Amino acid sequence: MQTRGAIYHHSRLVFHNGFTGKKYLVLLNTPCKNEPYLFIKATSQKKNKPSTPGCIKDRSLYFIPAGKTFFKKDTWAQLYEIYAIHPHDIDNKKEISVEGGLDVKMIDDIVNCLFLAEEKNISPIHKKLLLPPLQESLLKLKEKFS
């Protein structure tokens, strides 16, 4: 079992639009026994994306500058699509492997950015998997006093 922040490489990911391709994925949760692994895609394709480090709420992106982490190129975590993959499909597939990881602060920042940018689009089940109970309470307090 991996912890959130692990970086996977999937050589045959089926995207939400039906296409298949190679992609780095960032694990957003630390799944228990039968819980799905929740991932977001990472891309180094700039294509009109801002290069401001950190959370880019209005574009549902998180920018990671080159060389600051596992990623050797400028990389954008795409927060607008969550991929839920069953543990069986992780453990028994040759096309997906762990390649690296992000530090605790960065993955916390990415998950917080995800909630800032996409909270209304995150299913209740995914919210529970992404936020430990204490963190969820703190987020509600923050909203109340903002």
Q: 77-111 pLDDT, tens per residue?
A: 999 999 999 988 887 778 899 999 999 999 999 99
Distance between CA atoms of residues 100 and 71, nearest Å: 9
Q: Which residues contact 12 (CB under 8 A, 6 or more apart)?
A: 20, 21, 22, 95
Q: What is the mean pLDDT of the chain?
A: 89
**Global pTM?**
0.86
CB burial of residue 87 (10 Å; 0-12, 13-18, 19+): middle
Query: For 48-81, what is each residue's pLDDT tens digit?
Result: 999 999 999 999 999 999 998 999 999 999 999 9
Pair of tokens at residue 114: 């995800």
